[in-house]
Amino acid sequence: MSNTLRFLALAACMCGSLRAADSSITVSVDKPGVKVSPMLWGIFFEDINLSADGGLYAELVRNRSFEDSDKPEHWSAVSSGNAKIALTVDTAQPLSARNPRSLKVSITDPGVARAGVANGGYFGMAVRKGAKYDLALRARSDGAFKGPLTVTLESADSVAYAKERIKGLTADWQAFRLTLKADTTDPKARLVISADQAGTFWLDGVSLFPQETFKGHGFRPDIAQMLADLKPAFMRFPGGCWVEGNTMKEAYRWKETVGDIFERRSQYNLWGYTATHGIGYHEYLQLSEDLGAEPMFCINVGMSHRENVPLDQMGEYVQDALDALEYANGPADSTWGALRAKAGHPAPFNMKYLEIGNENGGPAYNERYALFHDAVKAKYPDVRLIANHWLGGVPKSRPLDIVDEHYYSNPEFFMAQANRYDSYDRNGYQVFVGEYAVTQGTGEGSLRGAVGEAAFMTGLERNSDVVFMAAYAPLLVNANHRRWNPDLIVYDSSRVYGIPSYYVQQLFSAHRGGTVLPCVVESAPAEPPVQSGMIGVGTWLTQAEFKDIKVTRGDEVLYTCDFAGGAKGWKTKGGAWKAEGGAYRQSALDENVTAVAGDKKWRDYTYTLKARKTGGAEGFLILIGVDKEGQKSWWNLGGWGNRRHGLEMPGVEGAEADGTIETGRWYDIKVELKGGNVKCFLDGKLVHDVHAKPLKALYASPTLSPDGREVILKVVNAAAAPRTADIRLDGVAGVAKGAKGWVLTSGDAMDENSLDEPTKVAPAEFVPAAAVPAFSQVFPGNSVTVMRLPLGR
């Protein structure tokens, strides 16, 4: 937040007595409710967006073992003369059967200076003046070449910051270690290994590590500190879709990620890169301990995105779960506990939570969950198992401890879900909201998205007897490799920042209550959802085609498109679109593929078209009322595994009906928008007739601090304009001195942080005008406020 905006936010919060109240919040301090779960706020680490390699893992060299492909990816030839340099990925004389590749460097005609190879790391190596970096590599020669090799840390234009030499190369592999001390700070440095004479040599396992890491355990300090500042109660790892993989060959198998770093499996990651497993199972456990968080391992359940392990071959996967628990919890003289001790941690990690699969469902998951449940509970009865809530609901084959539910949508969806858990069965399983985030209509992480999530989180906290744990997702993104958007923490080689949602997570976690306090919030609704905007078409894991697009308002024709002349004016997101044969065809089997056209100012219109599914798993998406980039505002036909039709728009709840979409059949589709009313017709039959509900403006969660001395009041204002609330604390004499408050807001709901403005949207501290049981407080538009109110005695 800029200094000016920060001042205005503070001024607004401190001047409650100068504005007439338009809202009220009454807290019954004398009627305490359920205990707040101490595990409620945690983090979810998935290897996505270069979050491990190129992120939290402090390794500076990319493709250090040359296993990315059969080409020398991320390595390049360098020469300051006229040398000829050939780089070849070679498998002769391998150091490791699991990682057999090495880099062969052949230099001829070296000229007068040097020739060799360079590695720029993950979009530049950040080096700092005075810092020391440990280099380790294996090298051999053709026998004739003896060296020396010169190792330099240098700029992109070859200005050296540190230099050392390696001597005595032979035809046999040798390990070399040395330390480089940088004399300059440069976020875009590179590592160069060169010679000043002709010859051939091989390299493998080239690692450059800063000596300074988080608690000495190999994690990049600034990113790890961002995690620590969240004060997470638990850490779920390592995924996510990364656990499943597209095929079982790509699935995460923890036993291939422990032991010697250079013997660990180099594995293709479905998010578009090769993972070194430098952060393996052991390091995840260590990181959890370093953060003071309970570890939660999510294990593959014998299911991938495209295939499942036959039921009669599930034995080794079930055994993996038992062995993972022994590694984490077993004595140092047990088989897997001994390997943990060898890695430097003889004491058990005492892992209490094990998640069985990620986003798995249906009959196959039901069968496999039973296998894992029975085996784990027989040997480790105190370990709490977490089951997936996915297609087909939850597994029915065995009792459930905790169930993992995931939510991704727009800000208004999360506001509408603030009361979701009010009516959950108090005698059933506990809920882990394992993944949630505003992913639509929020740019790369805006204030508005954070406000939507905060409104939802007040409901999670109020229902702590049901909601046991919750974690935002995803956690990390390298700004140069964004495969999911948004992400809580963003970084490049030398800088890091949190999006506004980061500060919401931090505010809720830093100000944990001990007991829920009943409250009544009275406030006029926020501005009604806008039922206007562009139209569009889309698919989800489906191929489809669309034609005869028409938008009318009464007798007025606003837009038509027959695609005879192409798809001019259509803006696509993902997929493979082509206008041909009078139709707009989408042929990719990807998720969340859309194309939009028209005017954001359109309102009160009728949208008609024809659509046909040509392949894939679901039906199609009919976009309506789209007024923001990436907004989720559509009629989902044949969604949820081609079992239901549902209207997914801001302010619309419960608009679902059973239904499927057949392949190869043309459907006539009509959607009418008028005021707050939406009507949807399929082949002339009315499927939905709903009125968009106005959303609440104020959301609140009051709790009593664990020591019983303070009321912690969290208030979210989702309206665009400020709201002034009369706040009453019933059952107490008053508020003592020392009240404190924090507000997260900004000048525009779509404001974001960035590498250049990392705290544009960040909390500002203020002093609430609270001295008696009743006082007035202003909550700025689009804001999240936390107040700690000491109770008078």
What is the three-class DSSP state of 248?
helix
Mark 637-676 as b/e (b = at least 16 C-beta within 10 Å).
Answer: bbbeebebbbbbbbbbeebbeebebeeeeebebbbbbeeb
If 0-12 CB within 10 Å is exposed, 13-18 middle and 19+ buried, where does residue 334 land? middle
DSSP string, 293-342: -EEEEEE--SB-SS-B--GGG-HHHHHHHHHHHHHHHS-TTSHHHHHHHH
Cα-based distances in Å from 622 to 74, 572, 683: 42, 14, 14
Please state the separation of Cα 225 from the chain's center in Å.
18
Angle, CA 205 vertex, CA 204 and CA 211 arms, to 5°: 145
Question: What letter does residue 592 receive in the DSSP assignment?
Answer: S
Q: What share of the chain is helix, strand, coil (3-state, %, to 5)?
A: 20, 40, 45
Catalytic residue among 289, 294, 326, 359: 359
The letter for the amino acid at 309 is V
Q: Which of 213, 346, 382, 209 is nearest to 290 (CA)?
A: 213
Q: At what angle do helices 500-510 and 447-462 cross, to 10 degrees?
A: 30
Alpha helix stretches (DSSP H) within 386-521: 411-416, 447-462, 500-510
User: Rg of the Cα trace of the chain?
Assistant: 29
Q: Which of 447, 532, 463 is nearest to 743 (CA)?
A: 447
Two structure tokens written together for 426: 């108090």
Helix (H) or strand (E) holding 665: none
Let me know if 67 is a catalytic residue. Answer: no
Alpha helix stretches (DSSP H) within 601-655: 639-642
Residues 6 or more apart whose Cβ sits within 8 Å of residue 609: 537, 546, 547, 548, 549, 550, 622, 669
CA dihedral 31, 34, 35, 37 (to 10 degrees): -150
Find out whether 753 and 499 touch, Cβ atoms under 8 Å. Answer: yes
CA distance 691 to 521: 24
Q: Which of 64, 186, 156 is nearest to 494 (CA)?
A: 186
Two structure tokens written together for 672: 């009418």
Pairing mode, strands 783-790 and 740-744: antiparallel
Beta bridge partners of 686: 681
Mark 678-696 as b/e (b = at least 16 C-beta within 10 Å).
Answer: bbbbbeeeebbebebbebb
Find out whether 471 and 42 touch, Cβ atoms under 8 Å. Answer: yes
CA distance 634 to 180: 56
Catalytic residues: 359
